[in-house]
A and B are shown apart, each in its own frame.
Chain A
Amino acid sequence: MSALSEFWSASVIWRDPLAASVIAGALLGFLGVYVVLRRVVFVSAALTQLSTLGVIASLIALERLDLETEHQEIQLFVAWIFSVGGGLVLGTLGWGRRLPTEAGVGMAYVVAGALVILGANQLLHVAHDLNTMVFGNAVAVPFQDVVILLAVTGMVALLHTLFQKEIVFSSFDRETAEAMGVKVRVWGGVLFFTIGLAIPVAAHVVGALPVFAFLTIPASAALLATRRLPAAFAVATVLGALAAGAGYVGSWVLQVPTGATMVVVAGALVLPAWLWRRVRG
């Protein structure tokens, strides 16, 4: 039996993980258009670290304070608090005229990363679960995670449908939007709330590296291949889903790590987009 037919015959095993990966890829691909156009690519990296720090914090609480945080929902909730909080701070507050925004993002990334290492070092009993909880396990995703991911995707879609024109105006030209009475902090907050909401749940499914990749690569390819914003959102969403789905299937068939395969497939999508751009001029 070929690897592909083996794959088809095992559909009960991969159905939920594949669905979750495709949804996560689509969700992050969509949000990535804002991430790339607002030039906050490294905010997504910092938020992924902060989300990881949230998971570590809940695990330390479990071990040291004997709190009931062994349930994954609680860990996810703490990760959301860290990620959404970080998104609101990094995305909407500045450092005034003293420091560039990148400095704050860099500090958040590196300090959160260091705290993750220190925190993981403190874990005694649940360290073995850490890799799965932090770096995802696209091979075995329970149906419950698909439901959570769908709920988050629905909320993100709703907010971005209701407030798209405000978020686009505030993101494209904050200065003018503010001068003309648009509440730029509110709409920037809504955008980074949705990014902060998506990252922990997506990282739980596909892992930290694919999250960073899906927030960057599909949008970059879409912006190369399209000339209008609605088309860029649509193409980035489809490419994110495609990279996640094809990466998942490819990793199964080739028996290679899933997250890394997803990232490579996403990266491979940039070349045709760039060629398409060159051909169209």
Chain B
Amino acid sequence: MPTLIRLEDASIGYGGRALMSGISVSVESEDFLAVVGPNGGGKTTLLRTLLGTLPPVAGACSSVEPLGVGYVPQRDHVDALWPLSCGDVVSMGRVPGIGPWRRARSEDGEAARRALARVGLDSLWERSFGTLSGGQRQRTLIARALASEPALLALDEPTNGMDPSAELSAMDLLRDLHGAGGIAVVMVSHRLEAVANYARRLAFVDKDQGLWKVGPLEEMLRPDALGRLYGRDVVVRQEGGRRFVYPVAGGDER
């Protein structure tokens, strides 16, 4: 599979100050990589470095040109005060492809509507973005990312603040979108349980522990590997075809 992004022996951070060093990771086409770690552990910094919006402090970051990225920010980073319809927001996904000077064409509108239909919200095209529920907003933002017809879908904490049902629904949607082929998914989450049933590969990042590890899901979900990330005993249980991951209450703190 062709490599979309490669980070080699990179240090990531801000303003020339490295938060983490020695990071090597690549994202292949049709990959599904989940970056997991605690809040403030460096996940978003890593994602921004992978996407090229934050240069690595040291090392190299390369990507295919042009790399079509569809990005989904944390839901609460998007201002619901703006008087925009759901369709307006999704149509923004076409802006990078249209380019300056030019106006949107009819095929741009059709692509935006198709993207909204893929996330199951085609009936909400005219609805005000600010009046949508949290789950609907998240789907709208995913639709905006899809409207650009990207090779890579990057998501920052896509299920943050969602109730369990909405979280499951959002993750099922991502699985379906990825399963339809032609798209790689990179997502960051502080909730391992949210990604344990969906990602193909996992990366652990925690700048405070100096922890960086990436590998196939099965290998990364071993209790000893998870124990280091969480700093205490962790149980991985399989039930009804789903994995459940949780730290043990009262277990050994490491």
Contacts and interface: CB of A to CB of B under 8 A. Distances in A.
Interface stretch (B33-41, B72-80, B116-124, B162-170): B72-80
A181 interface: yes
A179 B96 CA distance: 10
Nearest to B91: A165
B18 interface: no
Interface stretch (A130-138, A139-147, A167-175): A167-175
Residue among A37, A97, A179 with the most chain B CB within 10 A? Answer: A179
Nearest to A223: B83
A96 B51 CA distance: 19
Contacts of B92: 165, 168-169, 172-173, 176-177
A63 interface: no
Interface in B100-158: 100-101, 104, 128, 141, 144-145, 148, 154
A125 interface: no
Contacts of B53: 178-179
Contacts of A223: 81, 83
A175 B79 CA distance: 12
- Classify the secondary structure of A's interface with B: helix
A180 B148 contact: yes
Contacts of B141: 176
Interface residues of A, number: 26
A163 interface: yes
B84 interface: yes
Contacts of B145: 176, 180
Residue among A96, A168, A173 with the most chain B CB within 10 A? Answer: A173
Interface size class of B (residues with CB under 8 A): 35 or more
B15 interface: yes
Given A172-B92, A173-B78, A180 B83 contact: no
Contacts of B96: 180-182
Contacts of A229: 82-84, 88
- Classify the secondary structure of B's interface with A: mixed
Contacts of B15: 96-97
Given A163-B100, A228-B85, A97 B71 contact: no
Given A37-B82, A227-B83, A228-B85, A166 B51 contact: no
A95 to B, nearest CB: 11
Nearest to A173: B78
B95 interface: yes
B64 to A, nearest CB: 13
Contact of A172 (B66, B84, B100, B101): B84
Nearest to A182: B96
A201 to B, nearest CB: 26
Contacts of A228: 83-85, 88
B154 A179 contact: yes
A141 B192 CA distance: 66
Contacts of A172: 78-79, 82, 84, 89, 92
B14 interface: yes
A251 interface: no
B98 interface: yes
B104 A165 contact: yes
A162 interface: yes
Nearest to A170: B95
A96 B17 CA distance: 13
A226 interface: yes
Contacts of B79: 37, 172-173
A181 B14 contact: no
Interface string A4-32: 00000000000000000000000000000
Nearest to A232: B83
B202 interface: no
B81 A169 contact: no
Contact of A226 (B72, B83, B154): B83
A37 B79 CA distance: 9
Interface in A194-246: 223, 226-229, 231-232
Given A165-B98, A223-B83, A227-B128, A96 B14 contact: yes
Contacts of A177: 92, 95
Nearest to A222: B83
Residue among B72, B84, B145 with the most chain A CB within 10 A? Answer: B84
A157 B48 CA distance: 34
Interface of A: 37, 96-97, 162-163, 165-166, 168-169, 172-173, 175-182, 223, 226-229, 231-232
- Top 5 nearest A-B pairs (CB, nearest first) are A179-B71, A181-B96, A169-B92, A176-B71, A169-B95
10 contacts: A37-B81, A176-B141, A178-B53, A179-B48, A180-B70, A181-B69, A223-B83, A229-B82, A231-B83, A232-B83
Given A227-B83, A228-B88, 10 more contacts: A37-B81, A96-B14, A96-B15, A168-B92, A169-B95, A180-B96, A181-B96, A228-B83, A229-B82, A229-B84
